[in-house]
Amino acid sequence: MEKFRVLVTGAAGKMGQAVMRGVLDDPDCLLVSAVDVRLTGTDVGTVLGREPLGIKIENDLQQAIQRSVPDVMVDFTVPDVAQFNVKTALQMGVYPVVGTTGIPEEQMEEIFSLCESENLGAFFAPNFAIGAVLMMQYAKNAARFFPNVEIVELHHDQKKDSPSGTALRTAELISQGRGVSRKEKKGFEKVAGARGGEYEGINIHSIRLPGFVAHQEVIFGGLGQTLAIRHDSISRESFIPGVLLAVKEAPQREGVVVGLENLMGL
């Protein structure tokens, strides 16, 4: 069996480095290229604190694809860069696995249209941690019985978008689970925004502080009881099993796939 040839964009970032380690350590995968505007020309092995690997970080995605001929591109960058990377990969016959969140809706629609018109596939996930996906599914199920709910998500202070893609996806699933449109009662805010933002009729609270990685708690309230479902990623390694699952499984699916749960049989 041939190995999955993987290119990583955002390679110099913390998540990009974690992905490269995961790919390098997986016997079924082969890291063939790394792309980033930072640390250009630096050997990936040096970046990861390992022996030189003969793979240097490049800053031109098209050239990197032409040279290394990857099967899959894993993208953990920022929204404006990710949308360019995804379109480039699709146009060059490379399957994109995307963990970048916050891509504008109109750009996502353009990507979806491109995939449909050209019969191409792509994978997007708001969260690659297996436990986080289970948390979202449990929350969807609980919403049938506890329609009153709020979401608190906590991330490191370098995260650009708020609320997180995971929180938005959780709100979507909860809305599906409870089956009716429901607007939470905010009451009077003495400080604007104290009750959080609102999405799909659900209050979402975003916290950005040093020390966090990625955490979320879904809190349900009912008559005389509460139910809290929480997931904590205490290191970026928590995302790697899900990324590797997507690298191996997603290209076998047709069209655009959103959410790791679709690869987990949930």
User: Using one digit for the tens of pLDDT, what is the confidence trace for 17-39?
Assistant: 999 999 999 999 999 999 999 99
82-107: per-residue pLDDT in tens? 999 999 999 999 999 999 988 899 99
Report how far residue 236's alpha carbon sits from residue 64's, in angstroms, rounded to the nearest whole number.
25
Residue 3, pLDDT score: 96
Report how far residue 161's alpha carbon sits from residue 198's, in angstroms, rounded to the nearest whole number.
15
Residue 192, pLDDT score: 86
Catalytic position from the list 140, 155, 205, 231:
155
Q: Which residue has the higher pLDDT, 233 or 183?
A: 233
Residue 187, pLDDT score: 74
Q: Which residue has the higher pLDDT, 98 or 188?
A: 98
Residue 250, pLDDT score: 96
Nearest to 144 by CA among 175, 101, 113: 175
Mean pLDDT of 255-260: 94
Residue 29, pLDDT score: 98
Q: Please tell me what DSSP assigns to residue 46.
A: H
Q: Indicate the SS3 state at residue 110.
A: helix
* Mean pLDDT score of the chain: 94
Report how far residue 60's alpha carbon sits from residue 188's, in angstroms, rounded to the nearest whole number.
51
The answer to whether the CB of 139 falls within 8 A of the CB of 111 is no
Whether 155 is catalytic = yes
Residue 160, pLDDT score: 82
The answer to whether the CB of 58 falls within 8 A of the CB of 40 is yes
Mean pLDDT of 172-182: 82
Residue 189, pLDDT score: 85
Report how far residue 125's alpha carbon sits from residue 262's, in angstroms, rounded to the nearest whole number.
10
Q: Which residue has the higher pLDDT, 190 or 157?
A: 157
Report how far residue 243's alpha carbon sits from residue 265's, in angstroms, rounded to the nearest whole number.
16
Whether 160 is catalytic = no
The answer to whether the CB of 33 falls within 8 A of the CB of 55 is yes
Sign of CA dihedral 24, 27, 28, 32: positive
Report how far residue 115's alpha carbon sits from residue 201's, in angstroms, rounded to the nearest whole number.
31
Catalytic position from the list 56, 87, 159, 248:
159
Q: Is 79 exposed, middle or buried (0-12, 13-18, 19+ CB in 10 A)?
A: middle
DSSP-H helix ranges across the chain: 14-25, 44-47, 61-68, 79-91, 105-118, 130-142, 165-178, 240-249, 261-264
Domains of the chain: 4-124+237-264 (3.40.50.720), 130-234 (3.30.360.10)
Q: Is the pLDDT of residue 199 over 80?
A: yes
The answer to whether the CB of 43 falls within 8 A of the CB of 66 is no
What are the percentages of helix, strand and coil residues in the chain, rounded to 5? 35, 25, 40
Q: Is the pLDDT of residue 227 over 70?
A: yes
Q: Please tell me what DSSP assigns to residue 190.
A: S
Report how far residue 97's alpha carbon sits from residue 9's, in angstroms, rounded to the nearest whole number.
10
